[in-house]
Structure 1
Amino acid sequence: MAAGDLTTLANAKQWLNVTTANDDQLLTRLVSAASQFVQTWLNRTIASASYTEKHTGSGSNTLALPNYPITAVSSLSIRGVPIAASPDGVQVGYTFDDRFLYLIGNVGFSAFPNGADGQFPTWPPLGVQVSYTAGYATTPLEIEQAVLELMGLKYADRTHFGQNSKSVGGEVVSFMTSDMPKGVVTILQNYRKVIPV
C-alpha cells in the first residue's frame, strides 16, 4: 500500500471479485490513482498528518484550521508570544475541537494595535502560528467505498475505453462516461474541504 492510498489491494480485489494475481500491478496503480483523484477532488489529505501554519486571525476567539479533524495541537503562538493550552477548557489558554481553535480569557499577547487578548488578531497578517495534527488514523469506510467504486469503474472501462455504447446480441449496452457516479459524489461531498470563514 503506497502512502496516500485510501484502500488496499486486497480490498480492491474483494470488491471486484478478482481471485488471481494476474492484474495485481494494474489494480495497485488504480488504487493509487483513484485515491489521489478523490483527495484532489476533496481538496484535502485524508490520512493523519502534522502541519505547521501561519494564519491571519479572525478578530474573534475562534480560528478555523484548514485541515481536519484536528486531533492534537502541539504549539500556538500569537504575535510571536507562545500561548499555553488551557488545562481544562475553562481556564485561560487555548483549546480545540475537531475543526476550530479557541482562546479562553486574557492570554497575554497584546502590545500591537487592532487586537485584544482573547481574540485571534487580524493584525499583523499571518500573526498566528500553530502546529497541529489532523486527519484520520484509518480511512472512513464511506470514503474507502467511494475509492473502490471509482477504481472499479476504471478497471471495467479498459474493455470499452472511449465508447459510450455498443451493440451486444441485438441490444444496445450503454457505459457510464462521467468522472464520478452521483452516489460517489454524494458520499464525498460530506468530506470536501470548504474555505474557513
Structure 2
Amino acid sequence: MSTPPAPVPLPTDLTTLANVRAWLNAPTIDNSDAMLQRLLSAASVFAQTWMNRNIPIADYTERYTGTGSDTLALANYPIQSVASVTIRDWTVQPSPDGIRSGYVYDDRFLYLIGLPGPALGPFNGAPNVFPKFPPRAIGITYTAGYETVPPDIEQAVLELIALKWSDRSHFGQSSKSVGGEVVSYITADMPRGVATLLGNYKKVIPV
C-alpha cells in the first residue's frame, strides 16, 4: 500500500496544518491531512478575497495610473520596502532624508516630495505629482504584507475551517431532528464573528 504524498501548503495560506489539527482537537484523524490542507488553502483564499487584499508578505511589480497629487495608494499593504519607482519610464530615486527630492513611503502610501518640474524628467504637467496621463504610466516594484499572519486573521480562518469540516456530515441541511429536538446549522458563508474579525482588515477603498 503506497503512502499518499504529503499535502503541500501554499504561499497564500493563513495558518498551518498543525494549527488546524490543534484547533479541531483532532491530531490523530487518519488519512485526513490532504483534505484538511485543501480546506485550509481554500479558506485562506476565501478570506483574502472577502477582505479584498493579500495578507502574507510577497513581492509585487505593478503599474498604476497617477492621482494628479503627490500621493499614491499601493494595492498591497503594509508596505515593507520599495525597490523601484518609475514615471513614464523615468526612474525616481528615493529621497535620502525625507526632505530632499525623491520618493518616500509609509505602510500604506507612496509620496513624491521636493520634485520641481525639471527634476521630473522630460514630461509635461504639474510638478511634484503622479501624472494621470498616460494611464498606467507609473511602475512600482515593492514588498508588502505581513511577515507573520495577524492572530485575529488566523483565528478567523481556523473558525472557517472548523465550520466547513463539521459541515461534511450535514452538507446543505439547515436543521434536523435529533431525539425529538431540532438542531439548527449555520448556513451562511461565514459566521458573524468571523466576519467581524476579518472586517478589521477589509480594504474598502478600491485602488
TM-score range, shorter-chain basis? over 0.9
Select 2:99's aligned residue among 90, 114, 124: 90
Check the 8 A contact 1:63/1:100 in 2, yes or no. yes
Instruction: Return the match for 2:57 from 48, 52, 55.
Output: 48
Which whole-Å CA distance do the structure 2 matches of 1:96 and 1:51 have between them? Answer: 15
CA contact (8 A) 1:65 1:196 kept: no
Aligned length: 196
For residues 16-54 of structure 1, the C-alpha deviation after alignment (integer angstroms, 9 at most, x for no partner) is: 111304122221221111111112222222111111111
Instruction: Give the RMSD, CA atoms, in angstroms.
Output: 1.5
Alignment TM-score, normalising by the size of structure 1: 0.93
Distance 1:196 1:164, change over 3 A: closer
Deviation at 1:196, TM superposition (A): 4.2
User: 66-75 or 2-11: which moved more?
Assistant: 2-11
User: 1:52-93 deviations in whole A, cap 9, x for unaligned?
Assistant: 111111111101111111110001111221111011212211
Equivalent-residue separation in structure 2 for 1:84 and 1:9 (angstroms)? 43
Structure 1 unaligned regions, length at least 5: none
1:124 aligns with 2:138: no
Runs (5+) with no aligned partner, structure 2? 1-8
Q: 1:25 aligns with which of 31, 34, 37?
A: 34
CA separation in 1, counterparts of 2:10 and 2:122?
A: 48
- Structure 2 distance, partners of 1:126, 1:52, is 12
Deviations 1:129-148 (A, max 9, x none): 11111111111111111110
Partner residue, 1:179: 189
Distance 2:103 2:161 in 1: 42
| Cα distance change, pair 39–165 in 1 and its aligned pair in 2 (3 A) | same
The answer for the alignment partner of 2:11 in structure 1 is 3
User: 1:111: Cα distance to partner?
Assistant: 3.6
CA 1:131 to 1:146, structure 2 compared with 1: closer, same or farther past 3 Å?
same
Contact 1:79 1:109 survives alignment (8 Å):
no
Paired residue secondary structure (1:5)? coil
Q: Which residue of 2 aligns with 1:112?
A: 123
- Name the counterpart of 1:158: 168
CA contact (8 A) 2:90 2:121 kept: no
Q: Distance in 2 between matches of 1:3 and 1:24?
A: 17
Identical columns (%)? 59
- Superposed structure 1 runs of 4+ greater than 4 Å apart: none
Give 3-state SS (helix, strand or coil) of 2:169's partner: coil
User: Residues of 1 paired with 2:79 and 2:171: CA distance?
Assistant: 41
